[in-house]
Structure 1
């Protein structure tokens, strides 16, 4: 067993960093000894001679000018006593560490800019650069190593390919993200394999103008530095299987994002009818499931963003996971978007997410595992950047109550401008600060009486909605996975949203309001909240009347 001793030297009494380093070393199997604060160089050398350690760590966190005489004294003592064979480490503030870098006997210098994982990387005998021998190439491996610390993700894509490539380098070297989600522009998503159909006016609209597999390879190569972040990319909206295969081959797409009911006439993103798009989306889920690629089904928040009441948000979250499981997906990324709609209260937001979690994770077995991914709702962000930082931090704090495996960081600047590398690094750093404090121990907000009451109510209502889908087509063997049944549920209003008014593929008659911090179905004529039982029953009664 290797021996490490460490001390704060000179007149420095700041020992928290030293103590944390030694705790991590103990977990990695080292024999450790903390010599204490304000240890003189003379006493340090005496301890070294007595204990004969393999590694010595020294720390100093005061002014840079005061550390140089100490390190000069330490260097002389090392040389005079023949101690250069020992592995010497230094820790301190960044300005002090800049001074320490001029002393060649230090093998590694820790300036506090990196998290514990980099210290563990060093202690575990890996390269001090923590290359891909340490940083896993798959999402699930990285989750398993880091949990309960969540994997951090942020999307990125600038209107210039070269600027995006340089940005990926900068973000990777900052070591603050585990996953960079590449945001391609509209032309890439729609016409990647038929660029002759693209409009040059849309180049760079919404993301990076990638035009060839080689462009993706360049972005992947740019990420092979720092903490070697995983890459993923939003799915294409045409020729989806070919696009998915290309992403797998070029960037080792860490997981796929597929809708269930969207990207069609329902949201105006394509000409497909709802039933056809559901079938194709299911097939795309199966394609990824067959290849053991994790899948995220972006469904629930599409309804909530269109002001559907919370019950539909919960029911559609279950439907998305259910369809992924039925299509053979083994690792399911369940996204929980907080702050949607923006006026929802934190209590009611948490209740909604807990209801989704309970229903989704009821599907788990040895062949299906759900991973929790939390994110902030963009519409909740103000355009004042300082206020937005507060909103981002508050949202992540609430999200940590569900013990997520992934935190999708939404940059504080997103309501003001598309995130630049420096914005992403700052946002991720804020997120890391929030998460670090949360992991010290949060009160269990999930046990709040109002939260539990609302959660149970939402589960009951969502189950009623889901059971009602069996009435649409009694002969269907699996209504929750039947594209025709799901499409009909949208057409008759079981699944509905106020923003779908006038859409020929949907009922579009649902009215909702914010009441006591939650989004509920509402009867404007009677000026009252409608229970889900009454809402569904009224829909079927109207259908019965029309068919008689």
Structure 2
């Protein structure tokens, strides 16, 4: 045991929820905890301390600040009388009562609006000076320092470089965010190394107009304050290896985010051909794997955003992780985007994520570890900002059921406008409130019978599709990681999405419908949901006819 902590609310204060949560966290960190209850008199508290001789004593008061003064005077006299020199006293309360507590010169640590992560760090034994040095200079250290509280990431990039730098400084000073996800504008993503091709009228579209190595360095310097947030940056949509080298050199990129099948002619975010882009994306994974840099393959949700059915989302989640492992990635970040499509029901959404988790984490071994990253889908958010705040909180509450290591906060204002520093900070605080409530003890909704049933069905269907690919492309050594096979599957419609209709690199014939809160493959002629066996048989029979 790390020692004993006793705690209570004092005087006439009966509010003990914070005390109970603090003691529960202390127990998880290896302390013995003793709860003395609400409205404990100073005399009784002193007697209990004499008897228990704890390492820490926590007192809480959340009523009128002026009434706290005499209580703390009495407590101070009791401490001096009994000579509790080896005991550290802690205080928790509202911001006004905490200010009174600080002036009393009794307490080793005063908690008021502190985030749960700081409480956890304190219980882990990190003093204030140590904390400034040990926020974690890489993603793994950052996660290990906070879990079960997930590290927070937020997208940020304004149309002005100067405003972006000032904004990063403000966000870092707020200490609410662990990873700033830098968003370069589309010009930079596509033409950073070929700037003569840029259309300058589009500068700042979609993010910050970074145009030089110095710009990246100045952005990194801006984050070296507050809680020293890590920086990660989009991989770009062309010249991916050159961009990887640049952002690793300048930003110490927290992790690589690269697709398997996108940023090319499929989505119009680049001019690469599909097959070429798959090969290049795999090389980017390999480059980062060789340097032990975590990799996120942001693949599955790109299909779901284009209305591919839930089963295909699960298939692509597995294939993305499989390709990362084959490329030598050691730490894999699996992104679980909830609310895609917006009409999916929360239960069916959770089931889809649990199916992805089970298949992805089946790949784990001594050389391949996975981290869970959850986020809300932007399409779910309303342009009504107050309504969007509620939607952000609701999505975060559902996502906490998968116990993420990283929570990617989507600014509540993003359906209306790009987030300012103030809105980034506000969105993070909304999510922090949800997380702290969840960590205090929520029912386990992953055990819901409907969720489990749907999860199992999706796993069965996804495995059928994966085996179908392996069985019908036997001439390839490893069909699941073959760029040629993946590109052929997209062209044939084995991997397909309704929004790809008319795209020359894809099939685009898949029809899907929301049925009972699930997004299903759908046969328009019969008006029925298609199983993967039925859907793939139709595709393969048609392909054989065409080739005959």
TM-score by length of 1: 0.89
Q: 1:31 to 1:191 in 2, by over 3 A?
A: same
> What's the offset of the Cα at 1:390?
2.2
Q: 1:473 to 1:50 in 2, by over 3 A?
A: closer
> What's the offset of the Cα at 1:48?
7.6
- Aligned match of 2:190: 190
CA distance in 1, matches of 2:101, 2:519: 57
- Aligned match of 1:412: 412
- Runs of 5+ consecutive residues of structure 1 not aligned to the other structure: none
Task: After superposition, give the CA deviation of every residue in 1:470-502 in whole Å (9 maximum; x if it has no partner).
Answer: 465432111111111111111111111111111
Q: 1:192 to 1:524 in 2, by over 3 A?
A: same
Bigger CA drift: 293-302 or 17-26? 17-26
Residues 116 and 149 in structure 2, CA contact (< 8 A), matched pair in contact too: no
Q: 1:15 to 1:195 in 2, by over 3 A?
A: same
Q: 1:197 to 1:24 in 2, by over 3 A?
A: same
Residues 308 and 512 in structure 1, CA contact (< 8 A), matched pair in contact too: yes
CA distance in 2, matches of 1:63, 1:306: 54
SS of structure 2 residue aligned to 1:131: helix
- Aligned match of 2:525: 525
| 1:91-102 map, 5 Å | 91-102=92-103
Q: CA RMSD in A?
A: 3.1
- Aligned match of 1:163: 163
Asked if 1:385 is matched to 2:385, the reply is yes
SS of structure 1 residue aligned to 2:332: strand
CA distance in 2, matches of 1:538, 1:353: 28
CA distance in 2, matches of 1:311, 1:85: 60
Residues 130 and 227 in structure 1, CA contact (< 8 A), matched pair in contact too: no
Task: After superposition, give the CA deviation of every residue in 1:73-121 in whole Å (9 maximum; x if it has no partner).
Answer: 667888899989986654321122234444556554321x113432343
SS of structure 2 residue aligned to 1:506: coil
Residues 157 and 184 in structure 1, CA contact (< 8 A), matched pair in contact too: yes
Residues 129 and 226 in structure 1, CA contact (< 8 A), matched pair in contact too: no
Q: 1:45 to 1:510 in 2, by over 3 A?
A: closer
Task: After superposition, give the CA deviation of every residue in 1:156-204 in whole Å (9 maximum; x if it has no partner).
Answer: 1122233323322333333332222111112222233343433322222
Task: After superposition, give the CA deviation of every residue in 1:21-50 in whole Å (9 maximum; x if it has no partner).
Answer: 566667767787777655666777788889
- Aligned match of 1:312: 312
- Aligned match of 2:133: 133
Bigger CA drift: 41-50 or 259-268? 41-50
- Aligned match of 1:110: 111
- Aligned match of 1:480: 480
Residues 120 and 146 in structure 2, CA contact (< 8 A), matched pair in contact too: no
- Aligned match of 2:297: 297
Residues 121 and 134 in structure 1, CA contact (< 8 A), matched pair in contact too: no
Residues 237 and 264 in structure 2, CA contact (< 8 A), matched pair in contact too: no
Bigger CA drift: 366-375 or 399-408? 399-408
| 1:18-167 map, 5 Å | 18=19, 21=22, 58-71=59-72, 89-103=90-104, 106-111=107-112, 113-122=113-122, 126-128=126-128, 131-167=131-167
> What's the offset of the Cα at 1:8?
4.4
CA distance in 2, matches of 1:211, 1:274: 27
- Aligned match of 2:348: 348
CA distance in 1, matches of 2:26, 2:351: 40
Residues 338 and 399 in structure 2, CA contact (< 8 A), matched pair in contact too: yes
Q: 1:116 to 1:441 in 2, by over 3 A?
A: closer
Q: 1:372 to 1:24 in 2, by over 3 A?
A: closer
CA distance in 2, matches of 1:400, 1:360: 18
- Aligned match of 1:257: 257
Q: 1:42 to 1:397 in 2, by over 3 A?
A: closer
Asked if 1:543 is matched to 2:539, the reply is no
Bigger CA drift: 181-190 or 441-450? 441-450
Residues 238 and 272 in structure 2, CA contact (< 8 A), matched pair in contact too: no
CA distance in 2, matches of 1:348, 1:20: 31
CA distance in 2, matches of 1:50, 1:457: 57
CA distance in 1, matches of 2:82, 2:535: 84
Residues 121 and 146 in structure 2, CA contact (< 8 A), matched pair in contact too: no
Q: 1:464 to 1:209 in 2, by over 3 A?
A: same
SS of structure 1 residue aligned to 2:350: helix
> What's the offset of the Cα at 1:11?
4.1
- Aligned match of 2:469: 469
- Aligned match of 1:200: 200
> What's the offset of the Cα at 1:365?
1.4
Residues 114 and 175 in structure 1, CA contact (< 8 A), matched pair in contact too: no
CA distance in 1, matches of 2:459, 2:50: 66
Q: What is the aligned length? A: 547
CA distance in 1, matches of 2:39, 2:460: 62
| 1:274-293 map, 5 Å | 274-293=274-293
CA distance in 2, matches of 1:270, 1:514: 31
> What's the offset of the Cα at 1:427?
2.1
Q: 1:25 to 1:455 in 2, by over 3 A?
A: closer
Residues 381 and 388 in structure 2, CA contact (< 8 A), matched pair in contact too: yes
Residues 13 and 61 in structure 2, CA contact (< 8 A), matched pair in contact too: yes
CA distance in 2, matches of 1:224, 1:537: 56
